[in-house]
Amino acid sequence: MRALFKKFGAYRKANQGVAAIEFALTLPFLLILCFGGVEVMDGVTLDRQVSLIATTVGNIVAQYTTISASTQMPDILNASAQIMQPYTASNTGIVVSLVSINGSGQATVTWSQALHATARTTGSTVSVPSALDTPNTNLVLSEASYSYTPVFDFIHTGTLHLAHSIYMVPREATTINLT
């Protein structure tokens, strides 16, 4: 019996491979943590950039009294898509619209322009937040979206649709004409 305890004692003192076993057990967790962190940061960065595009386009368009549909608007939309760099801009949809609220509080689209997306239909009804629903006013509605497909997709979410929109009041006049 004593020989048996002596043999087990020798095994207990042998620890040459413990570090390799611990490394082998923790490596998968560390890799998932590392690559998952990269994916989360990419998603957060892209979401922030989509928000920035919506805000930038709305801010720029709200400064005009008259804007050209053939020259100025394409320049604004194309320039704002560059905010997505170093990510691809072709996955970015941008829509900017002028929303008119009539005397009874019904909001409809006066005009709409888009890049890599479908513009809103002129005359279609828009839901405006109650704080901005003032009769006989106009608002600039800027919308941006991005289809994000994670590189590693550990949790199998597939393509995520990131979208932001913002309403802004025209600054220089009560309305903005599209020519």
Q: Is a pLDDT exceeding 80 seen at residue 7? A: no
Q: What is the pLDDT of residues 107-133, one digit of tens each?
A: 999 999 999 999 999 999 999 998 888
Fill in the amino acid letter for 99: V
- Per-chain mean pLDDT for the chain: 88
26-48 pLDDT, tens digit each: 998 998 888 888 888 888 999 99
Return the percent helix, strand and coil in the chain, to nearest 5.
40, 25, 35
CA distances from 148 to 43, 116, 119 (A): 8, 15, 21
DSSP code, position 69: T
CA 104 – CA 136 distance, rounded (Å): 8
**pTM assigned to the model:** 0.80
Predicted confidence (pLDDT) per residue in 147-168, tens digit: 988 887 766 778 889 999 999 9
Q: Measured between alpha carbons, how far is residue 30 from residues 23, 27, 41, 142, 156 in Å? A: 10, 5, 16, 41, 19
**Residue spans per domain, the chain:** 2-178
Structure tokens at 40: 């989360």
How would residue 12 be classed by pLDDT, with cut points 50, 70 and 90? low
pLDDT at residue 4 is higher than 70: no
